[in-house]
Structure 1
Amino acid sequence: MDITRESTALLVIDMQNGFLDDKGSMAAVGLPHRELRPAIAGCRTLVDAARAAGVPVIYTRYVFQPDYADGGVLPNHIVPAMKEVGSLAAGSWDAEIIDELAPAEGEIVIDKSRPSSFYGTRLEPVLTGLGVRSLVICGVTTNICVETTARDAGQRDYFVHVIGDATAEFDKARHEHALTGIGFLFGWVNTLDDVRAAWAA
């Protein structure tokens, strides 16, 4: 399945200070956040290409209420250190999208409190309103929020294109495993060059 401009949106997943900055909460809880930073340049390339091609850009943010009432099992039980450091709390610098990828005026930002960008959010109505049936997906982390979103999109019969060199994971093996799973059943794994060629045509 070829990447197109028509009926397509770029989905930029969770490129937030908390995940990517040295002062962010992932660093504070001891996760190797610098492994995620290679995704920044790829995401920047895709955002620029999408804007130039007239492809809508949609961002997601992983955000919790300050009291973590909507946090569920992850911050409250599996990784309680997230709660202790105020990870991704609504209204915080930690939850904001990094300056390098700041949304332009009018671009949509979807907040979520689970890995999937579809779960409990307005993403699907937004895509329907825009007439989108194909998603180009980039961001972090490959094995968690990117993969979960790609699976949910595939199950909703969107044409899913995950851009391998514009995603990143804390662990390289899990990055590769996630891309293999996505490409096996839920969509296609593509490169920046594939997107540039499609959107420049």
Structure 2
Amino acid sequence: MDITREKTALLVIDMQNGFTEPGGSMAKIGLPYQELRAAIPGCRKLVDAARKAGVPVIYTRYVFHPGYVDGGILPNHIVPAMKEVGSLAAGTWDAEIIDELAPAEGELVIDKSRPSSFYGTRLEPILNSLGIRSLVICGVTTNICVETTARDAGQRDYYTHVISDATAEFDKDRHEHALTGVGFLFGWVNTVDDVLRAWA
């Protein structure tokens, strides 16, 4: 399936200080945040290309309300260290999108409290309103929020393209495994150069 400009949006997933920065919450709980920084250059190229081509750019942020009342089992039971360090709390620097990828005026930011960008958010009504049928997905982490979003997009019959060199995971094996799973049944795995050629 070719990547197009028409009826296509770029979805930039969770490129937040908490995930990629040395002072962020993932670093504080001992996860190798440096691995996630590999996604930044590719995401930057895709955002620039989308803006130039007139392709809508939509950002997501993983954000929790005070007290983690919307956090469910992840911060409250599976990884309680997230709660202990105030990970991705609403209104904090940790939850904000990194400076290198700051949204431009008018670009949409979707907050979510689960890995999927579709679960409990306004994303699907927005895509429908814009007439979007294809998604180009970049961001972090490949095996969690990117893959979960891509699976949900594929099940909703969006033409879904996950960009291998504009995504990253804490563990490289899980990065590759996630891409294999998406490409097997839910969409296509492409590169930044594939997208740049399509949007040139």
TM-score (norm 1): 0.99
Structure-1 separation of matches of 2:73 and 2:192: 35
Distance 2:158 2:35 in 1: 29
Equivalent-residue separation in structure 2 for 1:107 and 1:90 (angstroms): 19
Residue 8 of structure 1 deviates from its aligned partner by 0.1
Aligned runs of 1:35-74 on 2, under 5 Å?
A: 35-74=35-74
CA distance in 1 between counterparts of 2:34 and 2:171 reads 11
Q: Per-residue CA shift, 1:56-85, capped at 9, x if unaligned?
A: 000000000021000000000000000000
Residue 66 of structure 1 contacts residue 86 of structure 1 at CA under 8 Å; is this kept in 2? no
| SS of 1:37 mapped into structure 2 | helix
Secondary structure, in 3 states, of the residue corresponding to 1:52? helix
1:107-122 matched pairs, under 5 angstroms: 107-122=107-122
Q: Quick one: distance in 2 between partners of 1:83 and 1:193?
A: 38
Q: Which amino acid aligns with 1:100?
A: E
Name the amino acid aligned to 1:36: L
Mapped pair 1:176 → 2:176:
yes
Aligned length: 200
1:13 aligned partner: 13
In structure 2, the residue corresponding to 1:60 is in which secondary structure?
strand
Q: Deviations over 1:108-131 (max 9, x none)?
A: 000000000000000000000100
C-alpha separation in 1, matches of 2:192 and 2:86: 34
Normalising by structure 2, what TM-score?
1.00
8 Å CA contact 1:24, 1:94 repeated in 2: yes
CA contact (8 A) 1:115 1:145 kept: yes
What is the CA–CA distance in structure 2 between the aligned matches of 1:190 and 1:109, rounded to whole Å? 24
Whether the 8 Å CA contact 1:110–1:122 is kept in 2: the answer is yes
SS at match of 1:91: coil
Q: CA separation in 1, counterparts of 2:188 and 2:124?
A: 20
Q: Which residue identity does 1:154 align to in structure 2?
A: G
SS at match of 2:66: coil
**1:139 partnered with 2:126:** no
> SS of the counterpart of 2:120?
coil
| Contact persistence 1:16–1:97 (CA under 8 A) | yes
Aligned partner letter, 2:85: V
Q: Which runs of 5+ in 2 are unaligned?
A: none
Aligned to 1:75: 75
Per-residue CA shift, 1:32-69, capped at 9, x if unaligned? Answer: 00000010000000000000000000000000002100
* Aligned equivalents of 1:169, 1:86: Cα separation in 2: 21
Q: CA deviation at 1:150?
A: 0.0
Q: Identity percentage over the alignment?
A: 85
| Rounded Cα–Cα distance in structure 2 between residues aligned with 1:31 and 1:38 | 15
Q: Which one-letter code corresponds to 1:8 in the other structure?
A: T
Aligned to 1:25: 25
Does the 8 A contact of 1:37 with 1:168 survive in 2?
Answer: yes
Give the letter for the 1:44 counterpart.
Answer: R
